[in-house]
Amino acid sequence: MPRPYLLAICSASALDARSNNFSLFVLVEQLQIQQAPVDLPLEIHVYYEFDEPELGVPHEMRLELVDVNGNLAWHSPWIALTSPSRRHRLALAGIQIPNLGYFHLFATIRTIGQPADDAQRSPWGWPLEVTQAEPAQQPG
């Protein structure tokens, strides 16, 4: 199964068209929000390394936000990926924060057409602490 070598949440990114390099801006580990649930336009970068026999094989992956008790708090739809390259980098936009708490974001991948238990979650998750923002102070 393809192995993730990077999973990160950031505010924005740039892909250099000349060098094929990504730059990530403002890595996000902590959020303060006014209300939950909320959809945030953050970027999630998930980079996979494929073995030779896995090239060209249709896979699909999804993001999974897991709370401290191990419960699945949110997940994205399955996203198809078929890589012709050993290293395949996905830049995804949008994450839903269901409630306040301490979460880890994981990436789960599976081979299309295989049984559901074929899916493998990344061995580590990106931490995301979500707390309540202080109410804005009234002028005067």
Reported as half-sphere exposure (CB side, CA atoms, 13 A), residue 24 has a value of: 19
Q: Least distance to other proteins from the beta carbon of 121, Å?
A: 16
9 and 44 Cβ atoms separated by less than 8 Å: yes
Residue 119 within binding range of other proteins, rule CB under 8 A:
no
Amino acid at 8: A
Enter the tokens of residue 86: 């050993």
Residue 137 within binding range of other proteins, rule CB under 8 A:
no
Binding mask 6-45 for other proteins (x = CB under 8 A): -----xx--xxxxxxxx---xxxxxxxxx---xxxxx-x-
Considering beta carbons, is residue 85 or 114 the nearer one to other proteins? 85
Instruction: Kindly provide the b/e burial profile for residues 62-73, where b requires at least 16 CB atoms within 10 angstroms of the residue's own CB.
Output: bbbbbbeeeeeb
Footprint of other proteins on 48-87 (CB under 8 A):
52, 55, 62-63, 76-77, 79, 81, 83-87
Spatial CB neighbours of 82, under 8 Å, sequence gap ≥ 6 = 56, 57, 58, 59
Residue 99 within binding range of other proteins, rule CB under 8 A:
no
Return residues touching other proteins (CB under 8 A). Answer: 11-12, 15-22, 26-34, 38-42, 44, 52, 55, 62-63, 76-77, 79, 81, 83-96, 129, 133, 136
